[in-house]
């Protein structure tokens, strides 16, 4: 199964839409704060340890924005 499809499935299981879970975490950390901020930190650290990728959540947001999939957040960012 494709990595994008796996992330979309995880996001839909958590009542999300057709965006990547890491993109949802990135946007919600900036919109709502709260528990989304530590979740972004955890995901970024995990992907740094596994792949050496810095700022994974931000990178997935920018990838989706380039591909026309990222949605606008409530505060107008996106």
If you compute the radius of gyration of the chain from its CA atoms, what whole number of angstroms results?
Answer: 12
pLDDT digits (tens, 9 = 90+) for 45-75: 998 999 899 999 999 999 888 887 655 544 4
Containing structural domain, residue 57: 3-66
Q: Is residue 57 part of a domain?
A: yes
For the chain, how many structural domains are there in total? 1
Cα–Cα distance for residue pair 72/44, rounded to 1 Å: 22
Q: Does residue 20 lie in a domain region? A: yes
**Is position 7 within any domain?**
yes
Alpha-carbon gap, residue 23 to 7, rounded angstroms: 10
pLDDT at position 73, please?
46
Residue 77 lies in a domain: no
Residue 14 or residue 43, greater confidence: 43
Cβ proximity of 47 and 61 under 8 Å: no
Could you tell me if residue 58 is inside a domain? yes
pLDDT at residue 75, as a whole number: 46
Tens of pLDDT, residue by residue over 31-48, are: 999 999 999 999 999 989
In which residue are the tokens 């957040």 written?
Answer: 73
């Amino acid at each position: 199964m494709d990595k994008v499809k796996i992330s979309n499935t995880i996001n839909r299981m958590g009542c999300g839409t057709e965006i990547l879970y890491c993109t949802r975490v990135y946007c919600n950390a900036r919109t709502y704060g709260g528990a989304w901020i530590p979740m972004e930190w955890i995901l970024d650290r995990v992907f740094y340890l596994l792949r050496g990728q810095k700022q994974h959540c931000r990178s997935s947001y920018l990838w989706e924005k380039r591909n026309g999939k990222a949605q606008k957040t409530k505060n107008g960012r996106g």
